[in-house]
């Protein structure tokens, strides 16, 4: 099946620093990718929809200046957590679909810990 690679799998950073998470579709082109956040013992919550070549669409309550999303190519979307704080510590997961209406394939997720 289709493969989505997410990197890094785990990152620990100091408060105030920025962290970039990459999401790549390895064997298909993805015009749309999704970024989710998962809190402990909670469901995955959609943060934003990332569209290739255009601005991301953020869900209500998600700060677009804090969570910068860039979808520069059909195979790569990045999420940058700017000026990270301990409350940003979470599990971030991306997904991508090969075409409109198709199944979403997920990355393995990134566990961010902000000290």
Partner 1 sequence: GDSVTQMEGPVTLSEEAFLTINCTYTATGYPSLFWYVQYPGEGLQLLLKATKADDKGSNKGFEATYRKETTSFHLEKGSVQVSDSAVYFCALTPNSGNTPLVFGKGTRLSVIA
Residues that bind partner 1 (CB under 8 A): 1, 4, 6, 31-32, 34, 36, 41-46, 49, 93, 95, 97, 99-109
Least separation in angstroms between residue 8's CB and partner 1 is 14
Residue 34 neighbours by CB distance under 10 Å: 22
Read out DSSP for 15-32? TT--EEEEEEESSS--SE
Least separation in angstroms between residue 14's CB and partner 1 is 25
* Nearer of residues 36 and 67 to partner 1, judged by Cβ: 36
Is the distance from CB of 39 to CB of 88 less than 8 angstroms?
Answer: no
* Nearer of residues 18 and 102 to partner 1, judged by Cβ: 102
Is the distance from CB of 59 to CB of 48 less than 8 angstroms?
Answer: yes
């Amino acid at each position: 099946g289709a493969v989505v690679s997410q990197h890094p799998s785990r990152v620990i950073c100091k408060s105030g620093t920025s962290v970039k998470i990459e999401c790549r579709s390895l064997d298909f082109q993805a015009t749309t990718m999704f970024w989710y956040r998962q809190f402990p013992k909670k469901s995955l919550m959609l943060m934003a929809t990332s569209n290739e070549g255009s601005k991301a669409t953020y869900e209500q309550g998600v700060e677009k200046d804090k969570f910068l999303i860039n979808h520069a190519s059909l195979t790569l979307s990045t999420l940058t957590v700017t000026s990270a704080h301990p409350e940003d510590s979470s599990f971030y997961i991306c997904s991508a679909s090969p075409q409109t209406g198709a199944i979403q394939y997920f990355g393995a997720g990134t566990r961010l810990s902000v000290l």
